[in-house]
Structure 1
Amino acid sequence: MNDSSAPHRPRPVGWHPLFSRLMVLLAVVAGVPDVSAQGVQLTRNPANEATSSRQRAAPTVVRVISTRSHMQCPLPGKNMRLLSIDSPREWEDTIEHQDELTALGRKVRWAKERVLVYALESKPYAGVRLDSPSRVIRLSQGILYWPVRQVMPEMGAEKATVLTRPCVMTTIDRAYWQRIKIVPTRP
């Protein structure tokens, strides 16, 4: 049955139902925000959206396997850095002059684990230390919230004048995230 009140749109030459489905699939995969401007309409199932938004909002935890602090970080450079290392090749390209056993105290099982590194900028004195006290790291909506504690030298304590670059390295279970956010914790 045709609805005479709906305007009739002629199909473009060569338009095929399979092409329409392909455009919808490409729009979903590529994340095109407004595919309706291209003549393709996406339908949404509100029940699925409510379920998926609850799943995205629910935080999960990632297990911390090991943590090691360094007064002189094996990561090259002088500036603050926060990064994730995913493979032995990336380890070799990133960390200078130290293997996993020396820097972390253990070998990394790269198929199941990742390494997080947080380094402060260079300091002209000794005594500053970074620590990751938690046994789990919270992962919520694509953000990994990594609790890190900065331990300063005691007030009045004599500070050695030596150039240092404190950092902390943590081995965690493999997970997927878009960003890492440092959450400062109290000593």
Structure 2
Amino acid sequence: MTTPSAPLRPRPHRWTACLARPLLGLVITAAAQVASAQGLQVTRNPVADTSSTSQSKAGPTALRVLSTRSHMQCPLPGKNTRLLSIDSPREWDDTIEHQDEITALGRKVRWSRERVLVYALESKPYAGVRLDAPSRVIRLAQGVLYWPVRQVMPEMGAEKATVLTRPCVMTTIDRAYWQRIKVVPTRP
């Protein structure tokens, strides 16, 4: 009497099980880092990912301010308030009118390691309003970049020239990833 036999399958070695769990953890961590670098929201299973620390548990990060320059007449086109981040030389050429990096920022931008922030106010019918970014660091916490900017108004009773201006400030910072920029007003 012959009994039907099941197809032969190789049995996994013990070391396969020992390596599979840490290897899976590394793959998950790498995938999460790639997704966050591309600005995607990553949801993690806290039971499966206890070995790695997530960015939400880490404290705020301080990004260095490499240069800052204020403009009375912003080279950014338009008349309304705008806040933006420029990430590449091509984006610079598409965004900023008639000025290269050295003219607008006072230095060449190293795009592989740096980004440029621009904050422009709406057009003003008089001169004297100025924006300044006094801080040497910018705080990044939970995907939000907190940029301290000071608005300096003309002195009370001072004569104001009637000329159309659009004040702005440009700042070069270390390259990082964020979802949102928030301007934090500071006192003069």
Task: Calculate the TM-score normalised by the size of structure 2.
Answer: 0.74
- Residue deviations 1:99-122 (CA, integer Å, cap 9, x gap): 000000000000000000000000
1:46 positional shift: 7.8
CA apart distance, 1:51: 4.1
CA shift, 1:159, in A, is: 0.2
Aligned to 2:47: 45
- Where do residues 126-137 of structure 1 align in structure 2 (5 Å cutoff)? 126-137=127-138
CA distance, structure 1, for counterparts of residue 186 and residue 45 of structure 2 = 45
* Counterpart code for 1:178: Q
Match of 1:150 in 2: 151
- 1:159-182, CA deviations, whole angstroms, 9 ceiling, x for partnerless residues? 000000000000000000000000
Match of 1:54 among 52, 57, 75: 57
Partner of residue 90, structure 2: 89
Equivalent-residue separation in structure 2 for 1:183 and 1:119 (angstroms): 14
Q: Which structure 2 residue ranges, 5 or more long, are not aligned?
A: 1-27
Could you list the runs of 4 or more consecutive aligned residues of structure 1 that deviate by over 3 angstroms after TM superposition? 28-33
Q: Quote the residue 1:122 is aligned against.
A: 123
* Residues 125-175 of structure 1, C-alpha deviations (whole Å, 9 max, x = no match): 000000000000000000000000000000000000000000000000000
Within the alignment, does 1:177 sit opposite 2:178 as a pair? yes
User: What is aligned with 1:76?
Assistant: 77
**Pairwise CA RMSD:** 2.5
| CA-CA distance at 1:49 after TM superposition | 8.9
Unaligned ranges ≥5, structure 1: 1-24, 34-41
Shift of the alpha carbon at 1:43? 5.6
1:49/1:130 Cα in 2 relative to 1: closer, same or farther (>3 Å)?
farther
